[in-house]
Structure 1
Amino acid sequence: MPELSRRHVLALIPATGLLTVGLPLRALADEATDHARLLANTVAILAGTAEVNARPEAAVKLAAIHTTARTYLTQLDQAGPDELFAGVPLGENDANITQSYNRLLQIAVATRTDGVDSDLVGNVEVQRRVIDGLEWLHANYVGDQSAGYYGNWHNWEIGFPSHATRTFVLLAEQVAGYRPDLVETYVATMDAYLRNGVDGDVDLDSRFHTGANLADITTNRFLQGALLGDDARIGKAIADQSTVFATIDPYHLQHGNTDGYYADGSFIQHHSVAYTGSYGKVLLGRIAQTIKMLDGATSAGGTDLVAVVQAWVTNGFAPLIFEGWMMEVVKGRAVSRTTTGYVDVRAVAEAVVDLAGYAVGGDAAALKGYVKFLNASSPVSLEPNSFASPVSVVAFADILADATVPAADLNAAERNVAFNAMDKTVHRRPGYAFALARSSDRISKYEYMNGENLMPWFQGDGAHYLYLAGQDQTRAFGVDYYTAVSPYRLSGVTAPDGERRTIPDLYGQFWYENPDHPLGFTSSSESQNTYVYFPRGTNPLSGGAGLGAYGTAAMVLSDDVAHVDNQAGILPDDFVTYPNARATKSWFMLDDEIVVLAAGISGRAGRSAVTTLESRIAEPADGVAVTGALADGTAWTGDGVGPLAWVRWENPGEQTAVGYVLLDEQEVTVDVERVTRSRRVVRVSNPNTSVTKDVVTVSVAHPADGEHALAYALVPNAQADQLAGYADGPVQVLVNTTDVQAIKHADLGIVAANTFTDGRHQAERLTIDGAASVLVRQSGRRLEVAISDPTMTRDRVQVVIRGRDRGLESADDGVTVGQVTGGTSVVADTREAYGRTFTAVLRV
């Protein structure tokens, strides 16, 4: 995977064999920029060009731009006191400040759509009304620094400056002749609002100036530099933005920053939130636009960046997109929004379209093929007219029309991806995709913020999402899943008995307020992040290994850091936290099944607990059926509790099915319930529309009488005879304790194990030293071995394979193979590997 380490970028040293970020960064501040080219490129992105706008494929997009502009002009005419636009009151609502600037921007865009037959194009009167609006907003609502900067910091440092800056770019000529000092006045104001920066500029040490946020701020600043003719400002902004291209090295952090892309494809924002599907896609889009903006204007832009960003798409985004749907495990609080899933992928598709225009040869073909694949594989249209740029709309049409490029996924048909840097795992097969959300003392259990994702408590505690091929995922997941399914019964979760309350219910607002406490709880304080918005777990063990297309994952459930610190008396007396259940868990991801083991299950403190094998939703008209068999082989059907061998959920309306095989004897509860709730139960600002779903929940209760164990398999697209066949194999549970969890799959020749404690552990013919994730596969005379450190703290992991001596065929760097008494030793040097898998192939 092409990547740039932060040390490479910041030390200005090109990585051998990699494309680097343009010029050495120290030279950028002194390099002259073609300001006119940079501004013209940006205008083209926003409003198209005469050539592009003449294309019939752009007509719908351009018509929408003009309809929107006329609507906003009417609202401009109808504005009342304390409004620039009717219905958008100003003075107390910072989001409305940003909204007002956005509406001015949309009007300005329409006036620059060259080639469109409209009285708005080139309309000086309309353009001057926009400029007057900018001047009025500054005079009344943003120019007074003592009165501004209330509410959300983002609106003041990123929101309104982004819209204002682009409006000035679009109307640069008119502003120069009509209000020549306005740009300079605004830039000084916007600099003053960068209060999380230093002296009105970016601060790379600030927790606010990272990742997608940094890309937004720096794009604003280099556009402002072009407007002012300030090469130093442009150079500094590009140099600052260049740091987002650097692969995060968690062992050698620069500026203490953990936000960005990691070597395994993970993306983190807010320092501990897995966020590819929200902030990650924003960053991808911003960087694709940066490449277009800087094209030909400075040698810092253009194709030099494409290889790095293309690797983000291949290794970071593609595994997380299934049939046009962005998976839930990487969307943070955005899972509670009504516009996620397919809509998320449209933004990714537009960025890939833009990148394809700068890639060459096979890279360009791969990107174009992926655009075609996204378009063909999704049951919902990519809706290119929703793309941000008319140029992208036309480029998309050209890709679809190119008969020389076949549609092709960037994923192999069978793929297992351990995103261990962000505690997520994805397992893909032609008929399904399985996504697993883990957490640890490195990665947050969930994200709640601003009244979004109100009941997130168990989303990082082993919650899984099983996507079935051919299904419209809006009917199975997205906001309706979280609306209809109990937050205590998310698929895969072990939750303790007891009710929890949302942040607004607890504190009467969207955050906990206590500025006088030593931790200084305010809406944007670091303590708010740590304890309210996205608390981490307290377990160090969360990881897994991959062997080809097979994988294993492991996790130990823990309390979050808020509860631990509250018990220690660190937090205020009125701060409410909740204890979690305990369990040691493993997931073994194969071909036809995902095997799940859990041991040491306890609700703690005298509480019972429940493990939900799965909760699935369906439309009432689909006629969902649930069947099964008892442990003695007799048929079972209907609600209730019983010692079941297997259960099968079938949705005839969508022709989908999932089986659940019990690999040990359990009293299983199957609930079938019709649920009607408002989408506002998960997000305050959602439309108050009701959702009615049939919810089937398969669960096992764990009494408050000690610790319990559980073993089961998820079998996507299973038929009844297939489920009945598991009584005779091929899956065998070898060990299921809090020390070792291991299985054997006879047909695949796989033995897989997770170990959780110090000492030597036995599983089949394996002896494993300490905590580790291990897969071994025998195929003829070849024995493949995969090893990972799920704690990310060990220097070495040793696995001894007992039996005859085995010679070495191949091994990754860092792997040592030798003969020891009784077998063959495979040692992986896992120091600073951050959960990476090490493999070796032995000869029998």
Structure 2
Amino acid sequence: MTHPLSRRSALLGTAAVTGLALWDAPAEAVSRAAADTAAFDAARERWVSLLAGASYDAAYLEKTQAVEGSANAVLRKLAFAPGRPSLWPDLPLDDPRTGNFNRSYNRMRTLALGWATPGTALHGDPRVAETAVRALDFLYEHAYHEKLDRRGSNWYWWEIGVPRALTDTCALLYDGLPKDHLARWLRPLRRWCPDPERRISHPGVVETGANRAGKAMAVAMRGLLTHDARLVRRASRAVADLLRTTRGPGDGFYRDGSFIQHDVYPYTGSYGVDYLESVAKLIAMLAASPWEIRDIDDVYAIVDRSFVPFVFDGLMMDCVRGRQITVQGHRDHHSGHKTVEAMLTLLDAAPRRYAERWRPLIKGWLTRNQAVPYQAYAPLAGIAKAKALLEDPSVPAGPRTTGTYVFADMDRVVHRRPTWAFAIAMSSERIGAAEAMNLENLRGWYTGDGMTYLYSEDLTHWNDDLWPTIDPYRLPGTTVDTRRRADLRHGKRRLPPTPWAGGVALDGEYGVAAMKLVAGGSSLRAKKAWFLLDDAVIALGAGITASDGRRVETVVENRNTHDGHPPLTRGDGWLHLSGVAGYALLDGEGVKVIRERRTGRWHDIDQGATTGGDRTPVTRHYTTVVIDHGRDPRKARYAYAVLPGASVAQTAAYRGRTAVLANSGTVQAVSRDDLVAAVFWRPGSVETALGPLTADGPCTLLARRDGRRVRLAVADPSRTAREVRITLPWPVTSLERHDRGVRRTRKAIEVEVAGSRGHARTAVLRA
């Protein structure tokens, strides 16, 4: 066994070899080679500091102990048993389809992190390094080398999972590794991960988004570990390409902030977070090096457009986490904390205009969320940055983000007020309803069928074992029939055969969202709309029709109330759930309230080879509010208001506060004071208190009068119209400001929507 090298001896050895090779070289060449070696080492050490922290501080004792405990657990169970192809009894390596080889490298990374983290008992221990060398030799021989066959196992493990874990492990253990072994262990990456832009297992596939970013990390680290500048440059170029937005269709970031992965799925909070984390660390790692990633302003803009709207006090909204919602070890706070970590990393080089906005924003998130604090899950480097920010008296704790955000390119709408947020997940012929892959998200049938996500002061609602315990047939906001369903199949896509999904926002304060529901495997059809106001969300449904002999329901609410049932107050046409919201019924509907204890297992919804949940039953209490449309409804409808944080008195007094002007298959519309909001499914007219509002084509619109000014926002979520002609209830004398394609005629406003891809056209009019 080669004795582990100290960092000093490793550097001296490298210098000696370099000196022999360049003995007769000119002094300038020798100097350049030494500078290159220093650059490789400096970048690698920056990466290690991002993983393990730069120094030990007693303030991080708890986190250090956690790192040490995890590493000791790996070390304690590791056993070199002759004749058994595994390092750990629970991870046999005979069949790559189990993913155990990927898990084994993840455990090696955990061990290496304990060895490299200052303050742990394992830190720098030569015996631990010797054990790691033996283990990595064993894994090279039995689990991952350049001549192996995948045998039908997941390509991701071979091309991203293991390369990332292996290069991290080698970087963390670098000062204790014999360098001839290092080159051998990294050799398989030449076959399995040679280029960030190529997928070896599926020739012809060009890597995008998080997959390209993950591969870029592995390629860059291999280049730094082997002193191969070509690899580092290749990774740097691949990341620079990722920062460009796309017009679609397909993967990538869009100008409206949408992020798509796997062609048709919104994944900002999963693959998007992985992308952001990799890019932020690559930027930090290669800063001030010969391979520095330049022109990175786009990444800061991407954070503002794509990530900030979906983070609520450090939690990443589940409506953009795709199938990851069912992965037990990756909940909303994990994705949120990775976003915080990436932003803290980017702050080191962020332009002033971003830094001055982000610091209070992040401090507000960290200060308010004590239920699932960032410090409990962040790496030591992230904790150090967060601690510095929290202790900086010059930075105030910023308020929550407010505004209304329409992500037309991924059928998502988010409405944020000072004390709550409301998100809507829709689907269409462009955006898939739900992804199931690798036996994950087995019961996510309705997560993209108009499911609504209410975020309140209860920051544990979505992450407290909700997904294995909630009734998957009764997700809030959805209209469903009551048939039993089989688990979703791997890779099965459902793109509802309708273009109708999207919405419009006005001044970042108000919004409208709408989707035509075409249920999968059912005759159920409905037109669903949401009107997003300052204190309420008005939900309207019309044309609810089915003919399969089953009952149809609309789910007003399905709330996880954890270990008990909070007070529920009911009145004439309203009900109030303490600590959550009030609910006002606006169309005389009767509702059914179900209060139950529900038990489930994470394994029931995720049986993935490397992500599968455990089989331990968990129980939570739920309050479910349902409108029963009966068996085979014909043009049924509903109208209700969700009043987040409202008191009992406010709930009881709400009816009449907002007028429902229309709720039909032609138009759905509401008004409040000087605001009118409507969904025109086809040409139609609706009467307001001041006169008719008409549109000669499909659109969503908001109009608000303020004195002599009228603010107007129009979009065509159907993407079928060329131009929409709108007559407002107020006479319009002129256009004060307007987007391209908005014109005034004698009696109407004409809005050109062709080519807008569902995005808004706005104008300020003089009335």
Give 2:136's aligned residue: 134
User: What does the per-residue CA deviation read over 1:614-648, in whole Å, with 9 as the maximum and x for residues that have no partner?
Assistant: 2223245344324121xxxxxxxxxxxxxxx22x1
Aligned-CA RMSD value: 2.9
Which of 492-501 and 704-713 deviates more?
704-713
User: Which residue of the other structure, out of 343, 349, 353, is the alignment partner of 1:358?
Assistant: 349
Sequence identity (%): 30
Asked if the contact 2:742/2:761 (under 8 Å) is kept, the reply is no
User: What does the per-residue CA deviation read over 1:140-197, in whole Å, with 9 as the maximum and x for residues that have no partner?
Assistant: 22226454353222111111111112233344565554436515633334348x8993
Asked if the contact 2:416/2:422 (under 8 Å) is kept, the reply is yes
In the alignment, does 2:507 pair up with 1:537? no
Give 1:842's aligned residue: 765
Output the TM-score relative to the length of structure 2.
0.87
User: Which residue of the other structure, out of 614, 618, 628, is the alignment partner of 1:690?
Assistant: 618
User: Which residue of the other structure, out of 734, 741, 744, is the alignment partner of 2:671?
Assistant: 744
Give 2:584's aligned residue: 661
What letter corresponds to residue 386 of structure 1 in structure 2?
Y
Distance in 2 of aligned mates of 1:50 and 1:231? 25
> 1:78, CA displacement in angstroms?
6.1
Distance in 1 of aligned mates of 2:108 and 2:315? 33
In the alignment, does 2:190 pair up with 1:210? no
Asked if the contact 2:366/2:374 (under 8 Å) is kept, the reply is no
User: What does the per-residue CA deviation read over 1:274-298, in whole Å, with 9 as the maximum and x for residues that have no partner?
Assistant: 1112111111111111111111223
> 1:267, CA displacement in angstroms?
1.5
Query: What SS does the aligned partner of 1:233 have?
Result: helix
Distance in 2 of aligned mates of 1:448 and 1:603? 26
Structure 2 gap segments, 5+ residues each: 1-33
Asked if the contact 1:742/1:763 (under 8 Å) is kept, the reply is no
What letter corresponds to residue 293 of structure 1 in structure 2?
M
The aligned length equals 723
> 1:76, CA displacement in angstroms?
2.4
Output the TM-score relative to the length of structure 1.
0.80
Distance in 2 of aligned mates of 1:336 and 1:109? 27
Query: What SS does the aligned partner of 1:197 have?
Result: coil
Give 2:476's aligned residue: 491
User: What does the per-residue CA deviation read over 1:237-279, in whole Å, with 9 as the maximum and x for residues that have no partner?
Assistant: 22223222111212xx6xxxx2222111122211111111211
Asked if the contact 1:497/1:603 (under 8 Å) is kept, the reply is no
User: What does the per-residue CA deviation read over 1:580-630, in whole Å, with 9 as the maximum and x for residues that have no partner?
Assistant: 52101111111222111111101234443111122223245344324121x
Classify 1:265/1:124 alpha carbon distance in 2 versus 1 (closer, same or farther; 3 Å): same
Asked if the contact 2:160/2:193 (under 8 Å) is kept, the reply is no
Distance in 2 of aligned mates of 1:171 and 1:723? 60
Query: What SS does the aligned partner of 2:78 have?
Result: helix
User: Which residue of the other structure, out of 426, 438, 443, is the alignment partner of 1:438?
Assistant: 426
In the alignment, does 2:551 pair up with 1:550? no
In the alignment, does 2:272 pair up with 1:271? no
Give 1:87's aligned residue: 90
User: What does the per-residue CA deviation read over 1:193-223, in whole Å, with 9 as the maximum and x for residues that have no partner?
Assistant: x89936x5997x616x221111011211122
> 1:763, CA displacement in angstroms?
5.4
User: Which residue of the other structure, out of 577, 586, 595, is the alignment partner of 1:672?
Assistant: 595
Asked if the contact 2:51/2:113 (under 8 Å) is kept, the reply is no
Give 1:617's aligned residue: 560
In the alignment, does 2:591 pair up with 1:591? no
Asked if the contact 1:369/1:406 (under 8 Å) is kept, the reply is yes
Asked if the contact 2:703/2:710 (under 8 Å) is kept, the reply is yes
User: What does the per-residue CA deviation read over 1:661-684, in whole Å, with 9 as the maximum and x for residues that have no partner?
Assistant: 222222332233333333443334
Give 1:608's aligned residue: 551
In the alignment, does 2:699 pair up with 1:772? yes
Give 1:343's aligned residue: 334
Distance in 2 of aligned mates of 1:317 and 1:177? 40
Distance in 2 of aligned mates of 1:100 and 1:55? 30
Distance in 1 of aligned mates of 2:472 and 2:687? 35
> 1:842, CA displacement in angstroms?
0.9
Give 1:376's aligned residue: 367
> 1:409, CA displacement in angstroms?
4.2
Alignment of 1:246-645 (within 5 A): 246-250=244-248, 258-301=250-293, 304-305=295-296, 307-338=297-328, 339-384=330-375, 386-388=377-379, 390-409=380-399, 411-412=401-402, 415-468=403-456, 470-471=457-458, 473-474=459-460, 476-478=461-463, 480-503=465-488, 511=489, 529=491, 532=492, 534-548=493-507, 549-560=509-520, 578-579=521-522, 581-629=524-572, 645=573
Distance in 2 of aligned mates of 1:50 and 1:479? 29
Query: What SS does the aligned partner of 1:667 have?
Result: coil
Distance in 2 of aligned mates of 1:248 and 1:49? 31
Classify 1:184/1:726 alpha carbon distance in 2 versus 1 (closer, same or farther; 3 Å): closer
Distance in 2 of aligned mates of 1:423 and 1:171? 45
Give 1:522's aligned residue: none
In the alignment, does 2:106 pair up with 1:105? no
In the alignment, does 2:752 pair up with 1:824? no
Query: What SS does the aligned partner of 1:422 have?
Result: coil
Give 1:69's aligned residue: 71
In the alignment, does 2:647 pair up with 1:723? no
User: Which residue of the other structure, out of 776, 780, 784, is the alignment partner of 2:711?
Assistant: 784
Asked if the contact 2:64/2:120 (under 8 Å) is kept, the reply is no
Classify 1:751/1:792 alpha carbon distance in 2 versus 1 (closer, same or farther; 3 Å): same
What letter corresponds to residue 366 of structure 2 in structure 1?
N
Distance in 2 of aligned mates of 1:398 and 1:705? 59
Asked if the contact 1:142/1:148 (under 8 Å) is kept, the reply is no
Query: What SS does the aligned partner of 1:247 have?
Result: coil
Give 1:244's aligned residue: 242
> 1:395, CA displacement in angstroms?
1.9
Classify 1:356/1:195 alpha carbon distance in 2 versus 1 (closer, same or farther; 3 Å): closer
Which of 485-494 and 668-677 deviates more?
668-677
Distance in 1 of aligned mates of 2:312 and 2:155? 34
Classify 1:173/1:696 alpha carbon distance in 2 versus 1 (closer, same or farther; 3 Å): closer
> 1:433, CA displacement in angstroms?
1.1
> 1:782, CA displacement in angstroms?
1.0
User: What does the per-residue CA deviation read over 1:413-442, in whole Å, with 9 as the maximum and x for residues that have no partner?
Assistant: xx1111121111111112321111111111
Structure 1 gap segments, 5+ residues each: 1-31, 504-510, 512-527, 561-577, 630-644
What letter corresponds to residue 106 of structure 1 in structure 2?
T
Distance in 2 of aligned mates of 1:619 and 1:185? 50
> 1:116, CA displacement in angstroms?
4.4
Asked if the contact 1:602/1:702 (under 8 Å) is kept, the reply is no
Classify 1:65/1:756 alpha carbon distance in 2 versus 1 (closer, same or farther; 3 Å): same
Give 1:17's aligned residue: none
Give 1:220's aligned residue: 218
What letter corresponds to residue 238 of structure 2 in structure 1?
D
Distance in 1 of aligned mates of 2:70 and 2:120? 16
> 1:48, CA displacement in angstroms?
6.2
Distance in 1 of aligned mates of 2:254 and 2:196? 29
Asked if the contact 1:273/1:422 (under 8 Å) is kept, the reply is yes
Distance in 1 of aligned mates of 2:462 and 2:377? 23
Distance in 2 of aligned mates of 1:482 and 1:246? 35
Classify 1:242/1:842 alpha carbon distance in 2 versus 1 (closer, same or farther; 3 Å): same
Which of 658-667 and 778-787 deviates more?
658-667
Asked if the contact 1:755/1:771 (under 8 Å) is kept, the reply is yes
Asked if the contact 1:616/1:695 (under 8 Å) is kept, the reply is yes
Which of 343-352 and 63-72 deviates more?
63-72
Classify 1:33/1:816 alpha carbon distance in 2 versus 1 (closer, same or farther; 3 Å): farther
User: What does the per-residue CA deviation read over 1:468-491, in whole Å, with 9 as the maximum and x for residues that have no partner?
Assistant: 2x22x32x3336333333222111
Distance in 2 of aligned mates of 1:580 and 1:383? 46
